[in-house]
Structure 1
Amino acid sequence: MLFVGGVVMGVTGFGYALVGTATLAALLDPATAVVVMILPMLATNLRLVTELDRESLSACFTRFRPYLAAAIVGTLLGMALLDRLPSRALALALGVLTLGYVGLKQPYVPVPGRAAATDYCFRPTGPAKAALGFASGVVFGASNVAVQTVAYLDSLELDQSTFVGVLAMVLVGISVVRVAAAWLLGLYDAPGAVSLSFGFPYPASFPNEELVDAAETVFEAEGDRALQYGGGDYAERLTDAVVEQERGRGVDCAAENVLLTNGATHAIDVVCQTFLEHGDDVFVEAPTFMGTLKLLNNYGVDVTGFGMDGDGLRVEAVAAALEAREAAPKLLYTIPTFQNPSGTTMSLDRRERLLELAEAYDFLVLEDDAYGQLRYRGEPVPPLASLEGSGRVVRVNTFSKTVAPGVRSGWVLGDEGLVEEVTRMRAGGVNTFSQSVLGCYCTEGDYGENVAELRARYEERCEHMLNCLERHMPPGVDWTEPAGGFFVWVAFPEGVDTEAMLPTATEEGVTYLPGHLFFPDDRGEECLRLSFSHVGLEEMDRAVEALARAARREMSAPGDRQG
């Protein structure tokens, strides 16, 4: 992504921020995406500025000094807005600004009044330069979008090298100010801030030596075949290992019921691609996995979220909605076991009731079981796919949590005819070498023993986080107590906005993911997700204590509810 943006900028003088920020905003909170891109942009533009000789640089500075000075002032206001704008508003602004510029620059459809507006806005007077510079700085400070600056310089009909150099000079001046402003506003993680944001496995859990041994075994047994299209026998063994694992969970299946994918998200994507059309209705838990929400948004479907409690999805709320609607959803997506982000597990009676509704109203159930093998206490609850025989459950799973995320291997499991449909829609291939190594590791290595060890280590982390929350959190704060998985869901009193609290928490020494990221609508602002899977116990203690300090500051602020 950064490489593509850099190439575009080197050729045209713009594109780096446009490509980089838009891509990152699809993966991260938009404000975080904007801030992350500041330093790479500064480094890139510094290199371009050094290509101007001293005389050219002096002439450019003299000519564009009013624009640059006003842009620096404007960017301070833009950075302040970045610290306050809601994520959805910022994401919308990024899209509108980018598409607006593309629409103005495209040569195929005439835009009425474009030439007159350009002449009016880009008048060569000092006040006009200052006004345009200020407006450009505000937009750039809040969004990384510099298309307005590009348009201004483009109107001057500069030669290519001067155009690129002047643009780089302007962006260097603005970016230096933005780095300082971002630091002062707390938009960068403070030194020593502990991240409880993402569900990364802890590095010591990776079976490095076993995977190296498996790779050597694969090469010794299969040679070049291991690197050829389709792989060798060990790649096929992975399907057998998946079947054995699923049967161990009570799912009646054979190799014909399994399609290997590049991880669970790829599995979810290919299922959506197979069965969803623009405008279809989809039901989800609220909250739910934000990666799936992004995928569903890409398919243009109408997503309805249903609340949860300690027993998982409120299935009777789903039943009431189905009874009141004219049409059933095409699909219901659920993480019934150690749900992401809440950590809750759907009870057996609710699972059975959900399957009854799927049969009565004729919709598919997409069961995501990424954390199902990581149970730390209590009795296992049967997977949805083990409880029904009508073929309405499509099940996805992954080795990312039980082996390592980097192996990028998951699977779809379902009725044979359904798997055939998904196979036809799957675009591109899968990493057969990774599958060969995993196939060897799972069938000839210590996979089962290592998963048991993972359970013990994650249980220790989970219990430690719960104890930390109990010791440090102020009254009025609640949290889930998961029996497995990676996450704890924390709920604050009404009036606390966890996105607005994030800079304070970062200053205190912790980062997290705000709750609204996990909802398809406007709910969740008083909640947040914590991950206990990655950090050490001492770091976790410091992080939760820091979160508690931030919570007390937020809850005691004027206008907020007292804890």
Structure 2
Amino acid sequence: MVEFDPTRLHGSLRAPVLGSLSFLNEVMGRFPEAISFAPGAPHPETLPGPDLQRYTDRYLAHLREQGTSAERARRTLYEYGPSRGLINDVVSEALWRDHRIGCAPEELVITVGAQEAMLLVLRALFASADDLLAVANPCFVGITGAARLLDIDVVPVDETAQGIDLDRLARECRAARRQGRAIRALYVAPDFSNPGGARMSLDCRRRLLDLAEQEDFQVLEDNAYGFTAGAGTELPPLKALDTRCRVIHIGTFAKVAFPGARVGYVVADQRVRSEGGGTRPLAAELAALKTMVTVNTSPLAQAVIAGMLLEHGGSLVELSRRKAVLYQRNLTALTEALDHELGGDAAPPGIRWNRPEGGFFVRVHLPVRADTRLLEVSAAKYGVLWTPMDQFYLDGAGDTQMRLSCSYLDRGQIEEGVRRLAAFLTKEIRG
């Protein structure tokens, strides 16, 4: 039998976040009756019904309307497809219709979820060990995990109430230059980030793009939660404001359609010089990398997603409208329950929470460490689960915070879960 010394395997396998996630999954398995504020998954009510065939039929009709023969259209569902994707035209039109993001189909790559898009973009951009990735702090573990897989050094930059701390980011750019290095890109989710819940103001968005031009870095925009903004409160994505090709826009259909499809996309309209003197979009380079990773995104899954879009007038907004209302309702229920159960004088001192305007997550600050030991007590004695926040920070912060997700629960479960959480905090927490 072969035994590997773990020190001879890649260091990402020993990343603390993997242990934290494994423990959380294990606790959820041991306490299946507990109300869980841990998963950031879409609500079961938003999942499509069993008849997915109608969506593929709708996409096949779209191909025929464009002049593809019925036989050729049918075969596209069962053969290997182009690495850049099959449904680029549908997604491109939806991005323009709903967000005024202008991109040609060849400037898009349809990926296996947003996670593959992040991996491809990092692999393409980071050619030197001197290149640094800046990330909002706290940060989605998918991007920091991808950076760890690729041995990319990461620089955390705190979020403020208005978004990324631009003064701190500028200082980090200057500090990197003094060390002979460079901030190559910044990852940010400007709308209701996971896990922080922050939303970048319009002024901050514009100033960030100015700073990216001044300091010569790319902005990796993750737009997973923008659709949850309340009606009339929408802000333009960074890519819609980008006149200098500084933004690489990453999206996913996991929340607006359903996660099981595993379909995402990346808009990369930056130009890459060719040997012959011309240029091609960065998306072409990402597609080339994709051939060595997943070859192509499932044509069947792409057809289902395109059919869902087409059935809703080719609009991401219309596709997600009912879901956005549900998530807004759940978020309101969560913050109101926290106010009711923990907002009075009887609550332990030092407990506070943020009030995001959208997204799936609320952060609760405690006067003690919110670690796995405390989570075990919460699950075993009080039947309520949450996510420790320390795994989302890169600088040792966040160890006294918990993340509550409202997306997967019904209102009654949210209210009962917060009652259990309040009993847990009142009896177990001492400031």
Q: Same fold (TM over 0.5)?
A: yes
- What's the counterpart of residue 408 of structure 2? 534
Code of the residue aligned with 1:244 in structure 2: it is E
1:496 aligned residue (366, 369, 380): 369
Does 2:240 match 1:386?
Answer: yes
The alignment partner of 2:77 has SS state of: helix
- Seen in structure 2, the aligned counterparts of structure 1 residues 482 and 30 have a Cα distance that, compared at 3 Å, is same
Q: With CA pairs under 8 Å and 6+ residues apart, which has the higher RCO, 1 or 2?
A: 2
- What's the counterpart of residue 277 of structure 2? none
- What's the counterpart of residue 30 of structure 1? 19
Question: What are the equivalent positions in structure 2 for 1:80-479 lying under 5 Å apart?
Answer: 189-190=30-31, 192-208=33-49, 211-217=52-58, 221=70, 222-230=73-81, 236=86, 238-247=87-96, 248-277=98-127, 278-326=129-177, 327-377=181-231, 379-416=233-270, 417-426=281-290, 427=293, 428-445=295-312, 448-473=317-342, 474=347, 475-479=349-353
Q: Is the 8 A contact 1:499 1:525 kept in 2?
A: no
Q: Distance in 2 between matches of 1:254 and 1:464?
A: 41
Q: Distance in 2 between matches of 1:203 and 1:255?
A: 32
Q: Is the 8 A contact 2:16 2:391 kept in 1?
A: no
The structural deviation recorded for 1:532 is 0.5
Q: Is the 8 A contact 2:12 2:145 kept in 1?
A: no
Q: Distance in 2 between matches of 1:512 and 1:402?
A: 24
The structural deviation recorded for 1:462 is 0.8
Q: Is the 8 A contact 1:198 1:531 kept in 2?
A: yes
Q: Is the 8 A contact 2:59 2:306 kept in 1?
A: no
Q: Distance in 2 between matches of 1:288 and 1:334?
A: 8
Q: Distance in 2 between matches of 1:542 and 1:301?
A: 43
Code of the residue aligned with 1:192 in structure 2: it is E
Q: Distance in 2 between matches of 1:224 and 1:352?
A: 45
- What's the counterpart of residue 103 of structure 1? none
Q: Distance in 1 between matches of 2:190 and 2:114?
A: 15
- Seen in structure 2, the aligned counterparts of structure 1 residues 378 and 522 have a Cα distance that, compared at 3 Å, is farther
Q: Which has the higher strand share?
A: 2
Mean Cα deviation higher: 421-430 or 28-37: 28-37
The structural deviation recorded for 1:187 is 8.9
Q: Is the 8 A contact 1:24 1:30 kept in 2?
A: no
Q: Deviations over 1:269-295 (max 9, x none)?
A: 110111124452111011010111111
Q: Percent identity?
A: 29
Code of the residue aligned with 2:251 in structure 1: it is N
Q: Distance in 1 between matches of 2:191 and 2:88?
A: 23
- What's the counterpart of residue 60 of structure 1? none
The alignment partner of 2:182 has SS state of: coil
- Seen in structure 2, the aligned counterparts of structure 1 residues 530 and 492 have a Cα distance that, compared at 3 Å, is same
* Residue ranges of structure 1 left out of the alignment (5+ in a row): 1-11, 16-21, 38-185, 557-561
- What's the counterpart of residue 379 of structure 2? 506
- Seen in structure 2, the aligned counterparts of structure 1 residues 244 and 545 have a Cα distance that, compared at 3 Å, is same
The structural deviation recorded for 1:413 is 0.3
Q: Distance in 2 between matches of 1:315 and 1:542?
A: 40
Does 2:354 match 1:480?
Answer: yes
Q: Deviations over 1:232-289 (max 9, x none)?
A: xxx74x3222112221212122212211111101111110111124452111011010
* Residue ranges of structure 2 left out of the alignment (5+ in a row): 5-10, 62-69, 271-280
The structural deviation recorded for 1:23 is 11
Q: Is the 8 A contact 2:126 2:184 kept in 1?
A: yes
Q: Is the 8 A contact 1:378 1:483 kept in 2?
A: no
Q: Deviations over 1:144-168 (max 9, x none)?
A: xxxxxxxxxxxxxxxxxxxxxxxxx
Q: Is the 8 A contact 1:343 1:488 kept in 2?
A: yes
Q: What count of residue pairs does the alignment treat as equivalent?
A: 389
Q: Distance in 1 between matches of 2:410 and 2:312?
A: 27
Alpha carbon RMSD of aligned pairs, Å? 2.9
Q: Deviations over 1:167-223 (max 9, x none)?
A: xxxxxxxxxxxxxxxxxxx89643521111111111111122563311355678533
Q: Is the 8 A contact 1:369 1:397 kept in 2?
A: yes
Q: Distance in 2 between matches of 1:297 and 1:406?
A: 25
Per the normalisation by structure 1, the TM-score is 0.64
Q: Distance in 2 between matches of 1:328 and 1:35?
A: 36
